[in-house]
Amino acid sequence: MNINLRLYIKINLCFTLILVLSGCITKIESIKTDTIRVLEEGTGYLFITINSNASFRKFAISGEKHIVLKKPDFYNDVNYYLVPVPAGRYHIKQLGISYGGEFNFDEDDDENLWGFEVKPDIISYVGELRIRQQKYRYASFELINNSSLALEYLEEKYPKILAKRTIEYHGPGADSFFDYILNAPKVKIVKLNEEDVR
Amino acid sequence: MKNLKIALFLIFIMFFLMAFGSQSSPISADDLFRWPDTYSYKLNPSSKYLAKHYFRGENYNVIEIQDIKTKKIADAFRIKVKKFARINDYYWIDEDTLYIDYRIGENSNKRIFLDIDYNVFKNSDNEIAKSVEIKSKALIIDPLIYQDNKVLVQKTKSNKVTVYTTTPDKLSKNIFSKKDRFQHPLDSAIGYSTGENGEIQFSVKLDDDKLQFWYLKNYDSEWIKLFEFDGTDDFAFEPVAVLNDHTLAVITNRETDKKALIEYDFVKKEFGKTIYLHEKYDLHSAAISETTGELSLIRYYDHGRLITEYFSLSNKQVDAMIREKFPNKQYYVYSKHAGSTIMVIYVFSSDDPGNYYWLDAKISDFVNLGSSRSYLDKYTFSSTETFTVKSSNNVEIEAILTRPKNANGVLLVSPHGGPIGVRHVDSFDRSNQFFASRGYSILNVNFRGSSGYGKKFLSSGVGQFGKIIEEDISLVVNKVKEKYHFDSMCSMGASYGGYSALILAIYHPDEYKCAVGAYGVYDLPLLFNTSNLQMSKDNIASITKTVGEYNDSLKEFSPFYLSDKINTPILLIAGKDDSVSGFEQSNRMKYRLQQLGKEVETLFYAETGHGHYSLYWEKHQHLITEEFIRRTLQQDLPKNIDRKVFGKEAMIIADGYEFENIVKSDSKKAFNFYKIAADFGDPRGLYNLGSYYHRGEEVDKDMMKAVELYKKSSEKNYMDASFRLGNLYHDDDLGKPIYEQSYHYYVLAKEQGHKKVDLKLMNAICLGRGVDMKLYDCLESLDKQLKTKIITPSNSNGTNEFRDILIVMNTIKDLLFESELSSNKLSRVIELLNMHRFINVPIKSQLKLDDYGTWLHYRTDSNKYRNVDSDTKLNVSYYHKLGIVFEIKNSAATDSDAAIYKVTWHHPPFKKNEKDLSIAKEEYLDWVYFNREVYVLYDFYNKKETRIDGLWKVELHNLNGELLVSKEFDVKFED
């Protein structure tokens, strides 16, 4: 086999591999309207926030499925993702920052730093991924429990979904904030109209 | 004689008033929340000269040299203070050389040697020193001040540290010789330090994550490992001196409850004889004389006061001398060289921010060098009293009470943060003085868990959130209330103090009338679940050492879960980037309180962590806190307030809400605080309040009220107010122009220092608006403006520069076309324009219209245009521009010559603004380069009021009034 043929096969193999892999990758974006949807069985809402001082171009999670969350249409300091995904264990896999390179998160670390869970039928809030880029190719990451901020956001933007679905914290550690707040007296209740349920 | 008596009486009255005034007026927050203006004094090796590092005004960071004998002073080095530029560090290298490290940019430092020429200094105030830049990045370990022309440095290359004994000259040139290299390096050392003889004696290295400390007796011996840390040790171990071949003197609490000075055999790894142990307090520091090996001094805090005990007779005598001179003060020796009796001491107390003194102990001669904060010299501060309260099981709890001279009957209970290993000290505290000067009493308690009282006391606070700690605080509060009467009480604190402030209000709802929690923790279980990184084993262990074990019972002591018991107004302060407590703590506390309908206010700072670095925002936080407490308790303002100071302070709060900064904008609050500032007579407050009425924001638009406020502001010399009044009377904002008033205020603005008013005055003089027309002055002024303003056709619309140019050109236009000048005067104006390359387009033939003449311009694609016939009805949208394209031919013109002409737009009448003034004509002077394609266009974008159907006409006239071109458009606007 001459060298050019070998190269040709290599390139073809790469393309085949990319095609096979890309078939497993789901690219999704945050839901934009506050309407009640019927979720597929075994699916739940993942709710995660990205707070970044640099615009990011790629954000991928892996677990039940490999999911790439589409970057927002407009760059904000804080970006909220409320997305229906198959329930199960996930971890933050990869993050790309514009002009900052790509960062891979180790899924086999001892303390499972970047892992979280999505439960079926409910909203699973998993935290706020805080990204602080110091300089080119140097950034720090932290997954922070900002449950009350997340709840305030949902109350403002997705009151109907919030009224219909239970929200639980499934990020690092444990927290009974949602359970306590939502079952305590004087919780704001949003009345649902029939047409909101589709 | 009678006159003398009157004079003496007046002087007496003045002193009385001054003394009374200084005691009762609140201290300006601007003065309290400022960095010291004098940073340090350092004696040179012979103690004949002093280097002083200080701020000169706001602009310069200076090191000056003082000759102690002659008192002569001169600058040795100064740097203009910019955002980052300032002196970081300095010290003497030898008798006449200073080392200076200074910052010139965010990540840019410079280091220099400064050679002082004392001969020049004797006779001159200038250039007494020459600087040499240090090119090497090597660190100076020891300046070897008694060895002429030598310094000891360490250089790091590829993680390898090498020590050199070199000269300042070689260091500055970055020259290192093998022969200068230290011959006894420790393998893998990361740093070295010297003993008093200037020889390398100590080294530090990292080995398997353990920090090791090594000792070298002399250059003939071997390195010996003294001790090592792995970060898990829960006892103190602070080496003080090497006593002999195998013994160290260390401050430790390994074997004792209190931190004591103990011998440590580093060969056998055993603790030995106790050198000094205080029965009540941890040792803060200690010193052993290198010459005698005897204990020289020990320091500790007694009721928060720094106590130094000396052991040699000579030191005891000096100490007694200083104590006699400064009774009830604390001090430390700031600069002194071995063997000398001359020293600089720093003397301070809780009611004294601190003064530097030069002292020759041999002759007991004290010279006051000045205070560290000269701007506070005019104030009298509140003093403190310290006391001890015994708990039921006989534990002594110390506390500090700051009491103002004019108390307002409010006690602020202010627990410290931590709570483990932190403490209050009884020294000058600007926060306490801020509140005290406004009438509040402040109580600080060193509850169990505080540092300085031994291990048992420290550990007895662990896991005592809402338990023993608050019992201790309440015990002291009750004791204080037995002695003094208070009408009301609030709790406030930061970090743990924030937690404590809220839990005290929960436990004692009838006693605390308000609570302020800053950067606090309110949900204790959340501390263990803040973020993935903070849940590391080490971090959880560290939290456990403070909060206690993680379990559900923590909720019983969490204000968040006890919110229903809160019955007092709460102010929550937090930083959105707080990585210590976590912003979530404060936000969820706010959420729960709001959910329960409790009274809660928030002050959440963006770009802020666990407190402020900036003194401006620390001041802001204190002003908001004090305002909240005063409003909540319905307290009157302190008596004898300086209205100017209070006005300025209200402005700081108002500006926080008004402008884009780290506080969330809130125009309602901004309006309210501008109103308060205006009531205090603050000039800018009056102006800003006026602008709210002017805009009709937060209040109904009221131009009369706006003008009234602007006038009050102008009367107080606020130039922007005078300028705005000039504009209001000039334009038609008040119904019709009143040029006399306008001119009056422009002149006033000029007198008050307004930089932009010259154009307005020029306009008035040229056109005779409010003042007699003065053509000569007008032309002179126009000439000046045309010389200074860069006027090109490319000046971008909307910029300040463009607006200025418009004023100039409109003045010329009105001068030429409105003021009916004689032909002689007219030609003088045109002559002036020609001098500035603006060439009149005198004849029609120079102007060459485009083949079609009229056209529409499409905003969406600047290259597209549509030629239209004048007779055709044009359908126009908001994104169209209407106009003509042409070229002005002039073969004699240079590239910079500009053709000047008047553009007139006639159009159907429309209202340009709310007033009933119909506009049917707009005129302006335009100028373009010769021999290029030129557009004269009317833009409808963002100008809804101009989109009126009907006949539109554009005319171009030359400066002599001759019509050059005229085109009409029959326009129909599309929806």
Closest CA to A124 of A70, A193, A49: A49
Rounded Cα distance between A133 and A113, Å, is 19
Q: State both tokens at B879.
A: 């994104």
Q: State both tokens at B799.
A: 């910029």
Query: Which 3 state secondary structure label does DSSP give B336?
Result: strand
Q: Where are the beta strands (DSSP E) in B326-475?
A: 330-336, 342-349, 352-360, 365-371, 384-390, 396-402, 410-413, 441-446
CB < 8 Å to A142, chain B: 531-533
Question: How large is the angle between the packed helices B683-695 and B719-730, nearest 10 degrees?
Answer: 30
Q: CA nearest A132 in B: which residue? A: B577
- The nearest CA of chain B is from the CA of A54 a distance in Å of 15
CB pairs under 8 A between A and B: 74
Whether pLDDT at A7 is above 70? no
CB < 8 Å to B535, chain A: 111, 172-173
B306 and B297 Cβ atoms separated by less than 8 Å = no
Q: State both tokens at B51.
A: 């280097």
Whether pLDDT at A191 is above 50? no
Q: CA nearest B606 in A: which residue? A: A77
Q: State both tokens at A197.
A: 């349920």
B149 and B96 Cβ atoms separated by less than 8 Å = no
Q: Could you tell me if residue B65 is inside a domain?
A: no
A141-150, B212-221, B627-636, B794-803, range with the lowest pLDDT: B794-803
- Neighbour tally for B131: CB within 10 Å: 15
Whether pLDDT at B149 is above 90? no
Closest CA to A109 of A172, A165, A50, A58: A172
- The nearest CA of chain B is from the CA of A145 a distance in Å of 6
Q: Could you tell me if residue B535 is inside a domain?
A: yes
Residue with tokens 């050389």: B97
B86-90, B597-601, B848-852, range with the lowest pLDDT: B848-852
- The nearest CA of chain B is from the CA of A184 a distance in Å of 9
B597/A176 CB distance under 8 A: no
Q: Could you tell me if residue B803 is inside a domain?
A: no
User: How many alpha carbons lie under 13 Å from residue B639 in its C-beta half-sphere?
Assistant: 10
Rounded Cα distance between B65 and B724, Å, is 49
Q: CA nearest B595 in A: which residue? A: A186
Per the DSSP assignment, residues forming a β-bridge with B441 are B411
A187/B526 CB distance under 8 A: no
- Residue B546 belongs to what domain range? 384-632
- The nearest CA of chain B is from the CA of A34 a distance in Å of 22
- The nearest CA of chain B is from the CA of A14 a distance in Å of 36
A186/B529 CB distance under 8 A: no
Which residue from A147, A148, A186 is facing B596, i.e. has the nearest CB? Answer: A186
Whether pLDDT at B392 is above 90? no
Rounded Cα distance between B690 and B699, Å, is 11
> Cα Rg for chain A, rounded, in angstroms?
19
Q: Could you tell me if residue B817 is inside a domain?
A: no
- Neighbour tally for B383: CB within 10 Å: 16
Whether pLDDT at A190 is above 60? no
The amino acid that residue B655 corresponds to is D
In order, the DSSP letters of B150-207 are: -EEEEEEETTEEEEEEE-HHHHHHT---GGGB-SSPPTTEEEEEE-TTSSEEEEEEEE
Q: Counting Cβ atoms within 10 Å, is residue B513 exposed (0-12), middle (13-18) or buried (19+)?
A: buried
Per-residue confidence band for A2, with pLDDT thresholds at 50, 70 and 90: very low
Tell which of B581, B599, B632 closes a domain: B632
Whether pLDDT at B600 is above 60? yes
Residue B730: alpha-carbon gap to chain centroid = 39
Residues A88-120 pLDDT 10s: 999 998 888 877 678 888 766 655 789 999 999
Rounded Cα distance between B28 and B716, Å, is 20
Q: Give me the number of domains chain B comprises.
A: 2
Q: Could you tell me if residue B189 is inside a domain?
A: no
In order, the DSSP letters of B479-538 are: HHHHHS--SEEEEEEETHHHHHHHHHHHH-TTTEEEEEEES----HHHHTTSBSGGGSHH
Best of A148, A176, A183 to mutate (most B CBs within 10 Å, chain B): A148
Whether pLDDT at B16 is above 70? no
Query: What's the average model confidence in pLDDT over B523-540?
Result: 92
Whole-number Cα distances in Å, A136 to A98, B634, B852:
10, 54, 55
Residues B307-334 pLDDT 10s: 999 998 889 999 999 999 999 999 999 9
Q: Could you tell me if residue B681 is inside a domain?
A: no
Residue B65: alpha-carbon gap to chain centroid = 29
Rounded Cα distance between B430 and B390, Å, is 29
Rounded Cα distance between B936 and B899, Å, is 13
Residue B160: alpha-carbon gap to chain centroid = 40
Per-residue confidence (pLDDT) for residue A65, from 0 to 100: 84
Per-residue confidence band for B19, with pLDDT thresholds at 50, 70 and 90: very low
Rounded Cα distance between B711 and A104, Å, is 63
Closest CA to A84 of A139, A22, A32: A32
* Phi-psi group of B942: left, alpha or beta (phi > 0 → left; psi -120 to 50 → alpha; rest → beta): left
Largest CA-CA distance found in chain A, in angstroms, rounded: 77
Residue B540: alpha-carbon gap to chain centroid = 35
DSSP A145: -
Residues B95-121 pLDDT 10s: 999 999 999 887 789 999 999 999 888
- Virtual CA dihedral for B177, B180, B183, B184, nearest 10 degrees? -110
Taking the CA atoms of B802, B808, B814 and B817 in sequence, report the sign of the dihedral they define: negative
CB < 8 Å to B523, chain A: 177
Closest CA to B389 of B380, B401, B402: B401
Residue with tokens 């319905």: B634
Per-residue confidence (pLDDT) for residue B85, from 0 to 100: 83
Closest CA to B415 of B256, B562, B521, B552: B521
> Cα Rg for chain B, rounded, in angstroms?
38
Residues B237-288 pLDDT 10s: 888 988 888 899 999 998 899 999 999 998 888 999 999 999 999 999 999 9
Q: CA nearest B524 in A: which residue? A: A175
Which residue from B530, B584, B592 is facing A181, i.e. has the nearest CB? Answer: B592
Q: Tell me the helix, strand and coil percentages in chain B, rounded to 5.
A: 30, 35, 35
Which residue from A173, A185, A187 is facing B529, i.e. has the nearest CB? Answer: A173
Rounded Cα distance between A46 and A90, Å, is 10
- The nearest CA of chain A is from the CA of B842 a distance in Å of 54
Q: State both tokens at B922.
A: 């707009």
B96-100, B120-124, B471-475, B521-525, range with the lowest pLDDT: B120-124
Average model confidence (pLDDT) across chain B: 89
CB < 8 Å to A174, chain B: 525, 529
Tell me the CATH number at B969: 2.60.40.2390
Q: Could you tell me if residue B490 is inside a domain?
A: yes
Rounded Cα distance between B834 and B900, Å, is 9
B366 and B325 Cβ atoms separated by less than 8 Å = yes
Which residue from B528, B588, B596 is facing A147, i.e. has the nearest CB? Answer: B588
Tell which of B632, B656, B677 closes a domain: B632
Query: Which 3 state secondary structure label does DSSP give B364?
Result: coil
A57 and A97 Cβ atoms separated by less than 8 Å = yes
- The nearest CA of chain B is from the CA of A173 a distance in Å of 5
- Strands B295-302 and B285-288, by their bridges, are antiparallel
Per-residue confidence (pLDDT) for residue A13, from 0 to 100: 45
Which residue from B531, B590, B592 is facing A142, i.e. has the nearest CB? Answer: B531
Residues B709-750 pLDDT 10s: 999 999 999 999 999 999 999 987 788 889 999 999 999 999
Whether pLDDT at B683 is above 60? yes
What percent of chain A has a predicted confidence (pLDDT) above 70?
75
Per-residue confidence (pLDDT) for residue B925, from 0 to 100: 82
Tell which of B632, B665, B686 closes a domain: B632
Residue B602: alpha-carbon gap to chain centroid = 22
What is the ipTM for the molecules in this complex?
Answer: 0.84
Tell me the CATH number at B446: 3.40.50.1820
Across B731-744, b (16+ Cβ under 10 Å) vs e yields: eebbeebebebbbb
Across B456-489, b (16+ Cβ under 10 Å) vs e yields: ebbbbbbbbbbebbbbbbbbbbebbeeeeebebb
Closest CA to A61 of A161, A197, A155, A170: A170
DSSP B244: E
User: What does residue B898 show for φ and ψ, rounded to 5 degrees?
Assistant: -120, 140
Per-residue confidence (pLDDT) for residue B488, from 0 to 100: 97
Q: What is the pTM of this model?
A: 0.86
Rounded Cα distance between B627 and B633, Å, is 10
Residue with tokens 């436990």: B507
A144/B525 CB distance under 8 A: no
A145/B530 CB distance under 8 A: yes
Rounded Cα distance between B540 and A174, Å, is 14
Per-residue confidence (pLDDT) for residue A128, from 0 to 100: 95
Q: State both tokens at B673.
A: 């605080």
- Neighbour tally for B335: CB within 10 Å: 21
Q: Could you tell me if residue B263 is inside a domain?
A: no
